[in-house]
C-alpha cells in the first residue's frame, strides 16, 4: 500500500507550511530519510525527509502552495507496487501518442544542440547538478542554471562558504559574450514553446507535468523589471522588522575596539585548534563570550518588557544572525552562559551549518534573550541593527580593519601603531535600558576583548 507524505507540524504554534521545492519528481526512487521536499513555515525553512523507501508515485500539492499540517502532499509506492502503478496509469493517454512523443524527443534535442551556439551546447548537457553543486547554491540559482544550460561547476561563488549567489550566475551569463547573449532569450522563451513536448512523456503521472511547470514562473521573474511575489521568509522578515520598530524605542551606541590581541591569538592557534577539535576557530565566539561576561554584570541587557513588568532571564540564550542566499535567520545558542569557549565555537558552527542546509528545528530559532549580528563579514565598518523581538538589545559586529591608532605603553608614552580595529554597535530598547547602562555594558565588552586572557585551546 502506498505511503502518504504529509505536511509535518514543525512546532506547536505552526499550523501550515508552504512547499517551496520538490527535490524529486514522480517516478524517482527515494530512500527513507532522504530529503524529499523543502517547506517554509512561520519559523524556519526546512528540508523534509522521505517517510519510506520506494518510488515517488504522486505529487498532490505543487510548489508554491500553502497547506495545513497533516495534509497529504504526495505518495510513495513501495518497490513491489511501483511497477504496477505505472502500468495502470499508462493507458490514460493513447499509447501510440506516448510512443511517438518519446521517439522524436532525441532528434529534437540533437537539433537544438546543433543550432545552439557552441558555448551553450557544451554547457547544456548536464541536467542534474551534482550533490556538491546542490550544497553550494540556492534553488533559484539552480533554476536559472537549468534554463540557460549552465553547469554550476564553471562558476566561482562569492557567497558564504563559496556559495553561488544569483548575482554570480547572472554575471556569468552576461559575461558569456554576444553568442551567449543571443542564446539567452531563446533559453528563456523555450519552456513555453516546448512545454507540450516536455510534458507529454510525463502525463501518465499528472502531477509530474504540473510540478515542473510551477517553478518556471519565479525563475523567469528573476530578471530586472519583473514583479515577483515575496517568499514566505521575506514576508516574515518584513513583518518582524516593522513590528520591532513600532515596539521598541531604538537607540544605538558604537565603540571602537583594538582587536589586535585576538587577531594575533587566532592566527597563532587556528591550525592547532582545528586539528584538535575538528572545528574552525572563528572570531564570533570571542564576541559572544565578551558579551556574556558583560551581561552577567549588567543583566538588564538580557531582560525584556512584559506589559508593565520586566522579565529578568536566568539563562543567556544568544541569537546568532545567519545570512542566507534567500534571506536571514537567527538560530539560538541556548544556555550560552554555561558553555566554555570550545562549546561556544562548536555551537555557533553547528547552528550556522544547519541554518544554511535547512536542518534547523523550530525550537532552535525561539527563545533568544540577546542577539549578535555580523554585518562586518561583508565589509561594513559598522551597522545599526534592528532589535530582534522580544529581546531588548542586539550587538552588531563591524569589519576587522587595520588602521593607525595612538597606543600608550606601560610607561605612559604615546606612539602611533598599525592595529586591527573592529567597531561594535549596540542597538537597545530605551524603554528598558538607559544610555549610561548601555555604555557601561559596551565598555566592559571592549575591555573583555582588548584584554582577552581566556584559553582558546
Q: Among all chains, which residue has been given the C-alpha cell 513555515?
A: 41
pLDDT at residue 123 greater than cutoff 70: no
Phi then psi dihedrals of residue 453, to 5 deg: -135, -5
Q: Is the model's pLDDT at 98 over the cut of 80?
A: no
| Structure confidence at residue 205 as a pLDDT band (50, 70, 90) | very low
pLDDT at 135: 52
CATH of the domain spanning 1-89, picked from 2.40.50.100, 3.40.50.2000, 3.40.50.300, 3.90.950.10? 2.40.50.100
Other Cβ atoms within 10 Å of 294 Cβ, number: 23
Q: What is the pLDDT of residues 164-193, one digit of tens each?
A: 877 778 778 877 643 444 444 434 433 333
Residue 83's pLDDT band (cuts 50, 70, 90):
very low
Which of 33, 79, 226, 434 is catalytic? The answer is 434
**Can you tell me the mean pLDDT for 309-322?**
96
Contact 453, 281 (CB under 8 A): no
Pick the more confident residue, 38 or 336: 336
The closest of 48, 19, 96, 457 to 281, measured between CA atoms, is 457
> Which of 113-122, 169-178, 237-246, 383-392 is least confident?
113-122
Pick from 7-21, 72-86, 120-134, 284-298: least confident: 120-134
Helix, strand or coil, per DSSP, at residue 54: strand
Task: Give percent of the chain with pLDDT exceeding 90.
Answer: 44
Q: What pLDDT score does 229 carry? A: 84
- Residue of higher predicted confidence among 254 and 101: 254
Higher pLDDT, 166 or 160: 166
Cβ-proximal residues to 136 (8 Å cutoff; 6+ apart), any chain: 152, 157, 159, 161, 162, 163, 164
CA distances from 230 to 235, 236, 349 (A): 6, 10, 29
Q: Label residue 160 by pLDDT band (50, 70, 90).
A: low
Residue 120 pLDDT: 40
> Which has the higher per-residue pLDDT, 185 or 28?
28
Confidence of residue 130 (pLDDT cuts 50, 70, 90): low
CA 362/CA 274 separation, integer angstroms: 30
Q: Is 315 tagged catalytic? A: no
Range of 83-92, 185-194, 266-275, 356-365 with top mean pLDDT: 266-275
What are 336-387's pLDDT values in tens digits? Answer: 999 999 999 999 999 999 998 888 888 888 899 999 999 988 888 999 999 9
pLDDT at 373: 95
Whole-number Cα distances in Å, 391 to 59, 247, 388, 435: 41, 11, 6, 17
pTM, whole model, 2 decimals? 0.62
* 250-450 CATH pick, 3.30.559.10, 1.20.1250.20, 3.90.45.10, 3.40.50.2300: 3.30.559.10
Question: C-alpha angle 357/366/238, rounded to 5°?
Answer: 75
Examine the residue annotation and report whether 434 is marked as an active-site residue of this protein: yes
Selecting among 79, 226, 338, 430, the annotated active-site residue is 430
Strand pairing partners for 370? 318
- What are the residue boundaries of the structural domains of the chain, listed by start? 1-89, 102-229, 250-450
Q: According to the model, what pLDDT value does residue 41 have?
A: 75
pLDDT, position 298: 97
Amino acid at each position: 500500500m502506498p505511503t502518504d507524505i504529509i505536511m509535518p507540524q514543525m512546532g506547536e504554534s505552526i499550523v501550515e507550511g508552504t512547499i517551496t521545492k520538490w527535490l524529486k519528481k514522480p517516478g524517482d526512487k527515494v530512500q527513507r530519510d532522504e530529503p524529499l521536499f523543502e517547506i517554509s513555515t512561520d519559523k524556519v525553512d526546512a528540508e523534509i525527509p522521505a517517510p519510506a523507501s520506494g518510488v515517488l508515485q504522486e505529487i498532490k500539492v505543487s510548489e508554491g502552495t500553502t497547506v495545513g499540517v497533516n495534509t497529504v502532499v504526495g505518495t510513495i509506492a513501495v518497490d513491489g507496487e511501483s511497477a504496477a502503478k505505472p502500468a495502470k496509469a499508462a493507458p490514460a493517454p493513447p499509447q501510440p501518442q506516448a510512443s511517438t512523443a518519446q521517439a522524436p524527443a532525441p532528434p529534437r534535442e540533437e537539433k537544438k544542440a546543433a543550432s545552439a551556439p557552441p558555448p551553450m551546447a557544451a554547457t547544456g548537457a548536464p541536467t542534474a547538478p551534482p550533490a556538491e553543486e546542490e550544497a553550494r547554491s540556492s534553488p533559484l540559482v539552480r533554476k536559472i542554471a537549468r534554463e540557460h544550460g549552465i553547469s554550476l561547476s564553471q562558476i566561482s561563488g562569492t557567497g558564504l562558504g563559496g556559495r553561488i549567489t544569483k548575482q554570480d550566475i547572472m554575471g556569468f551569463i552576461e559575461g558569456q559574450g554576444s553568442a551567449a547573449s543571443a542564446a539567452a532569450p531563446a533559453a528563456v522563451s523555450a519552456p513555453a514553446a516546448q512545454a507540450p513536448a516536455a510534458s507529454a512523456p510525463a502525463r501518465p503521472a499528472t502531477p509530474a507535468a504540473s510540478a515542473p511547470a510551477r517553478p518556471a514562473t519565479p525563475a523567469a521573474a528573476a530578471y530586472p523589471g519583473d514583479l515577483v511575489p515575496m517568499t514566505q521568509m521575506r514576508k516574515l522578515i518584513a513583518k518582524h522588522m516593522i513590528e520591532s520598530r513600532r515596539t521598541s524605542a531604538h537607540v544605538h551606541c558604537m565603540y571602537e575596539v583594538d582587536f589586535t590581541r585576538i587577531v594575533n591569538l587566532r592566527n597563532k592557534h587556528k591550525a592547532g585548534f582545528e586539528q584538535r577539535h575538528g572545528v574552525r576557530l572563528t572570531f564570533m565566539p570571542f564576541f559572544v563570550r565578551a558579551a556574556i561576561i558583560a551581561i552577567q554584570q549588567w543583566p538588564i541587557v538580557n531582560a525584556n518588557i512584559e506589559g508593565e513588568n520586566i522579565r529578568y532571564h536566568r539563562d543567556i540564550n544568544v541569537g546568532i544572525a545567519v545570512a542566507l542566499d534567500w534571506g536571514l535567520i537567527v538560530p539560538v545558542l541556548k544556555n550560552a552562559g554555561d558553555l566554555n569557549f570550545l562549546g561556544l565555537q562548536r555551537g555557533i558552527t553547528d547552528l550556522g551549518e544547519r541554518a544554511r542546509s535547512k536542518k534547523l528545528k523550530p525550537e532552535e530559532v525561539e527563545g533568544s534573550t540577546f542577539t549578535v549580528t555580523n554585518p562586518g563579514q561583508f565589509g561594513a565598518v559598522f551597522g545599526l541593527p534592528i532589535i530582534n523581538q522580544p529581546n531588548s538589545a542586539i550587538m552588531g559586529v563591524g569589519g576587522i580593519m587595520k588602521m593607525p591608532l595612538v597606543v600608550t605603553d606601560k610607561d605612559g608614552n604615546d606612539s602611533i601603531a598599525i592595529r586591527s580595529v573592529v567597531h561594535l554597535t549596540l542597538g537597545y530598547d530605551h524603554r528598558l535600558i538607559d544610555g549610561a547602562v548601555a555604555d557601561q555594558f559596551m565598555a566592559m565588552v571592549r575591555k573583555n576583548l582588548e584584554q582577552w586572557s581566556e584559553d582558546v585551546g
